[in-house]
Structure formats: C-alpha cells, structure tokens
Structure 1
C-alpha cells in the first residue's frame, strides 16, 4: 500500500485533530535523530534530540536569523541574517550568512554580504553551492565554496520587489524567486545574469513555492489570493489554480503525487494532490510555519510559531505523534538523521 493510499483510506477531505503527545510518541525511526531549528525571536539555532525533545545545545546569533540550509555532508548549516522579525517590520536588516558547525554545534564564521541586506531565502544545490536572497536589493547571491568563501561569488538581479523566498533546481541552474510586493515569481539563471528573468503573477502575495519531482511544474502559495497555483517551470505560464480558503504560507513536495501546505489562518497542515485536490487536513494546536521532512521516513517536523513547539507528524496517518518545546518562535529546521 502506498503512502497516498494510506492517507486516502483514512478519509479524504477529513479534518483530523492535532493534539500533541509526548516526544516519545514519535516513530522509533526517529531515535537518535537531531532536529536543528532556527529560533528567530531567541536569536539562536537550537539542536534537539527528536526522540526525547531534550535540548542538545544552542548557538547564539545576532538578532533575527530566519532561513537555513544544510550541505550534503551535514557538516555545515548556513543561516541567513534577516535582521528583523517579520517581512512587514521596517528596518535595514542584517547583511550576513552565518556558517554553523553542525559537529561542534558552534558558529564557525560569518560571511559579510554588504551591501546586500535582509538576507532571507536560502538554497543549496547538489554540488553544495550556496545561494542567498537579499530582500532589500532583490538580488540573488551565489557562493561557489561557501565553506571557505568570504564574499559572494556572483549576484544576479531578480526583477521582483521585496523578494522573500526562492526554490532552486537541483543543479542550481534555475531559481524561482517570489516577490511579496511585486506579486510575482521570477525565473532567474543564477549563473548567467545575461539571461533576462521570466516573470509571472500567480496571485497576490506569493511567498513560498516548490518544484515537482521532475522539475517541470512549480507550485506556488499565493497567500492573499488564498490559492495554490501550478506554473509551468519552463514557460512560467499558469496551468491551474485552486482556492484553499485560508492562507497558504508554505508548500512542499512530498512525492510524485502529493504536496504539503501549511495554513497560518486555519492552523492546518493539508495534503494536496499535485493536480491541486485536497486529500486530508490536520488541525494543529499552534500556528504552523516552516516544515522539515525526514529524508527516509514519513515524518514531518512542523514549527509552531505561537506556542514555541515542534509538532512531529506521521504523514502516513496524518497525525501528531510527538512534539517538544523550543525557544521563542521556531522557524526553519533541518532533520539530521542518526543513520544517513
């Protein structure tokens, strides 16, 4: 039985309760796994044992770090210094990428990105080249060897306004950048600034996106339009749009047939088909922001901003099977499995 069949058998369209159990209620597959979490209002990155919820250490950072990615060797994490609490917060923000030593659980060094500020969206490709998005300048920065680089290797304009997040192709040759004020998604070529970006307006306030497994379709959450939108990843033409009835903050690819979306108005986690049909929703006990997925098990780790907790969700049953407390406002996270 496939994962999709399990969820459908549990009842398509059903809204399940998300009452959290203890961290020990999580799958045995999670024993020994570590969750690395950006705790933006505690200005830190925290390390947690998933099975027990026990804190393993904290790396203190300057004010308001936000997004994070990890290299393929799980040696370093790279955290953007946004420098303000929210996108609506006025201020020049931060101008740095923090390099976190995941083995030593310490700040290894800081890459200065000035004059590019409000570093928010972060991405890393299959060759471990790093990309960081300056919201203030609407420029995508590239780092060919981020473990040692002291400055960006390149920068390309995105032609959006208030560019917040981006989705990267595996080879790093395409980046899809959302503009919160331009209400656009830009297809840019991070390694060739001479190629003009292709833009589309998928709806109002597009924030997050994800690529299908074959990288032919881009799925976008248009927050003010309350819609999920499917866009041709090459032509940037809208293929299909579906109203969600809420505020789709983040969207993720689960497999060839399913997406996962967080809704911060309804406080739900919803599984959607890739043809944009709702399959099942889970109501949570907090406001879901970012999600990280276990690389080999059907588990999701959902950051609940307003309750300072991580909810561990079994994606086969779409049920909360564990959870633990964090410091203030957990945001992006990465799961480091005990067994690679």
Structure 2
C-alpha cells in the first residue's frame, strides 16, 4: 500500500509533516548536504527524491524491482540502489537524479557499503553468504568471494526467504566489513585483505541492522525477536552491553555527533541516549502510519522556526488510518508445541517469531453490560515462527510452523464510532521459550509463553 514519510524536528521532537511516496518505502538516505532525501519504494520499484526544505517529492526515479538498500558517496555525486529481484545495482547521478548505468549481478544483492573514497562498493547477498566488490569507476563487478557455501537444496540458499546478510557496515579504515547473519543470530567480521571471517559476535535473536558510531569504536545492532539492541566493541569484537525493552526494533541511525540513537520499532520511533543507554523519548506514529520501515537524519531543519501549520500536502485519494485500542492486558498464555525434524539427528540453533496475524472472520465484539463503551473482544490469532537447526554435516536448515490460539473476552474500550462493519484488527505479541525437552534425537518439545502487548484498528478512509 502507498507509504508516507513522517518528518520530525530533532530538538523539539515535533511532527512537521507527512510526505506521500510510493509503495513500501524504506532504507531512507540523505544527500550529504542534507537538502535531499532519497527513499527506495520496494513495491513501486522506484526511488523518491524529496526536497528537505519544501517537503515535496521533486522526482521519482525508476530502479530495479524490490530495491532493498541505498548508499550515497560522500561527495554526493553518485548513489547505488540494490535491485534484489532483478539482481542488479542501479547507479544514480545525484545531480541529475537519473539512472546512468545498471550493474548486473548473478546473486541477489541486499546490503550495501561504500568505501570512503567512493571507488569500491561492497555488496552482500541474500542467497548464501558472499560479498561482491564493485568497481564504481567502471561500473562492473571486480570480484566476488564466498564466506560460506550452503547446499543448493538448503533453505538458506533460497533468495525467497529474504535472509541476511542485509545489515552491512564498513569500518572507518576500510579494512573490515560487519555482516549481520540473521539465521545464525550473530555478526560476522570479515577482513577484506584476507577475504575471510576473522571474528564472530553472538547477538540477540533475528538481528536486522547495524550502525557504527561516528567517533567511538562501537557498533549497534537491532535484535528484532529479542526486543533489544546489542552494543558491540569494534576493538574487542564482543558485546559490551544490551539495551532491553524495545518492542521489535528494526531500523536505526545515529545523530551526526553520535549522542543519540534513533530506532524504529513497530509504530513508533525511540530515541536513546548513547552515553547513558537510557530511552529519552518515544515518538508515536501519526494516524495514517502503520509501521516504521526506515529512518534518516537531515541537518536541513535544525534551525527551523516551528509553527502549527504543516508545510506539506498530505492529501491522498485515500489513506489507511491506524487507531490505538485501549484494553486491559489479558494473562499470558502457555502452549506446548512438538516438532519432529526430518533428519535422524538435528541440533536446534535458534527460534524466530514473526508478526502475529488475526483471522479477521473470527472477531467477535460483545458489549459489557452496565459499562458504556466497554466490550469483550474475542479473536483467533496465528503467530508464524521458524526453528533454525543443523544437520549431521553441520549445515543449517529451517523448520516453519505457527502458534494458533484464541484470545477470549479481552476487555477493550471502543466508542460507537470506532466499531465499524470491517473491523481490521492488528495485534502485537511477545513470545518466549520457558521450557524445552528433547524426547528423541530428532524431536523437540517447547513450552511457549505469549502475551498481548498492543492492539490497533486499521481502516481505509476517503
């Protein structure tokens, strides 16, 4: 569905406006001078160019299908967009804002990192664990090396799974690459001179993105399924601390001086003090926003005089309105699940929970007698998850399944205007393993505890 860019003022934390863009926007990147913002739209296969002074989309550039990442050189001359589905890199002239070349790859590009001089572009790939080095002067792949090979029939060799390495960062001296390996819950440190891994850093479950501090030897990693951020020493290559209690963090960026960390999680933007590791504030999404998919910081509006008038046009033929539902949290529920692995001996490596889904035809809303605007809400839910495991040859595989449950009589506050015929309910849950056993060498029993943490109602409006 069409997306919007929410614009906040950094000091006041005030929402300045909403900028309509394409379908599925994410991976925002600012022009070095801070006057333009580039937004890849995954569902539209386009790149939106936004003027940071007027909050207007100045140009829309067609790029490869499913653009997954974007980097811009320090001089502001060129940008590079990874078109994952078409296995290409689109080269953008940032002065003319147009595609000037296309670099074909035989692998599915996902993460991008650019050398300081802009002469080398490092590309990680979704299928398997490999790095391509692009010569940016001649616009061609100069080299590709593999850190690990997965068997062709392994789930981890399939690009359809959208697996890491996606998160990718280059050390300031240009000698090391930091790759997030989500299925293995770790960060791989790659020496570009040796063309191999020199360190492995365990982090939380399902890590997503990594950001390097601009002046200190630190890196920050969002752990989506652990609801946390790992703080890594880039000297010692180990986790120094963990910032907990962040619901499903995904994207992150640091302010230019490195004093604050901005993290997208769910429908909110969380600001963290990097010195104290404390949450400074939480900026909640406007009504038309459903989820946070990217964050970037521009210097353009630091001195802006704020007013109550939004300086951008927020009109669409339609929009999707998101409303928070207030409810009395029900007790957590426990479920025992049994898994039979398809191989004689398997070693479970990790468990990754995905976003909960509501079976919309199962929703029931019943008023509570003598309590106006209070209702009992009952619905069936499904929480997809996957278990990562190793076989006897030490190869990684994954087993997919889902938790099915009915939440009964959740006490909610709903005014008559909010109870509509098409009640589109969205929920956020938090699950954890509280017990496990291995009945046989190729089976696993898990006791999962899940609690409901937030509910939203989403509906289109003219």
Q: Same fold (TM over 0.5)?
A: yes
Cα offset, 1:258, TM superposition = 2.1
SS at match of 2:183: coil
The C-alpha deviation readout for 1:240-270, integer Å capped at 9, x for no partner, is: 112133011112222343211111x242232
Q: Which residue of 119, 127, 130 maps to 1:136?
A: 127
The C-alpha deviation readout for 1:268-295, integer Å capped at 9, x for no partner, is: 2323334421112211222222112225
Cα offset, 1:121, TM superposition = 0.9
Partners of 2:262 and 2:60 in 1: CA distance = 29
Of Structure 1 and Structure 2, which has the larger fraction of its residues in strand? 2
1:228-267 mapped onto 2 (5 Å cutoff) = 228-254=229-255, 255-263=257-265, 265-267=266-268
Q: Decide which moves more: 231-240 or 156-165.
A: 156-165
SS at match of 1:181: helix
The C-alpha deviation readout for 1:12-61, integer Å capped at 9, x for no partner, is: xxxx7x655477xxxxxxx9922222111111112222233333222212
The C-alpha deviation readout for 1:197-218, integer Å capped at 9, x for no partner, is: 3112211011111122334111
SS at match of 2:197: coil
Q: Which residue of 95, 111, 123 maps to 2:87?
A: 95
Partners of 2:185 and 2:309 in 1: CA distance = 34
Aligned to 1:190: 192
* Conserved 8 A contact 2:110-2:166: yes
* Cα 1:158/1:20, change in 2 over 3 Å: farther
Cα offset, 1:171, TM superposition = 2.6
* Conserved 8 A contact 2:262-2:295: no
* Cα 1:266/1:57, change in 2 over 3 Å: closer
Aligned to 1:80: 82
* Superposition TM-score, scaled by structure 2 size: 0.54
* Conserved 8 A contact 2:55-2:311: no
1:245-324 mapped onto 2 (5 Å cutoff) = 245-254=246-255, 255-263=257-265, 265-285=266-286, 286=289, 287-295=291-299, 298=302
The C-alpha deviation readout for 1:146-197, integer Å capped at 9, x for no partner, is: 142322334352789631211211232111111111111111123331x433
* Conserved 8 A contact 1:256-1:274: no
Uncovered stretches (5+) of structure 2, i.e. residues with no partner: 1-9, 20-32, 151-155, 157-162, 320-462
1:139-158 mapped onto 2 (5 Å cutoff) = 139-143=130-134, 145-157=135-147
1:47-58 mapped onto 2 (5 Å cutoff) = 47-58=49-60
Partners of 1:132 and 1:295 in 2: CA distance = 28
Bigger Rg, which one: 2
Partners of 2:312 and 2:142 in 1: CA distance = 38
RMSD: 3.3
Aligned to 1:332: none
Partners of 2:193 and 2:299 in 1: CA distance = 28
* Cα 1:62/1:196, change in 2 over 3 Å: closer
Partners of 2:145 and 2:293 in 1: CA distance = 28
* Cα 1:200/1:22, change in 2 over 3 Å: closer
* Conserved 8 A contact 1:246-1:266: no
The C-alpha deviation readout for 1:54-112, integer Å capped at 9, x for no partner, is: 332222123211210111221111001122xxxxxxxxxx3211111222222111111
* Conserved 8 A contact 2:170-2:177: yes
1:117-128 mapped onto 2 (5 Å cutoff) = 117=108, 119-128=109-118
SS at match of 2:116: coil
Uncovered stretches (5+) of structure 1, i.e. residues with no partner: 1-5, 11-15, 24-30, 84-93, 300-313, 329-340
* Superposition TM-score, scaled by structure 1 size: 0.71
* Cα 1:99/1:320, change in 2 over 3 Å: farther
Cα offset, 1:222, TM superposition = 0.7
* Conserved 8 A contact 2:54-2:311: no
Partners of 1:50 and 1:184 in 2: CA distance = 36
* Cα 1:98/1:204, change in 2 over 3 Å: same
Aligned to 2:362: none
* Cα 1:54/1:202, change in 2 over 3 Å: same
Partners of 1:281 and 1:32 in 2: CA distance = 24
Aligned residue pairs, count: 277
* Cα 1:32/1:224, change in 2 over 3 Å: closer
* Conserved 8 A contact 1:22-1:322: no
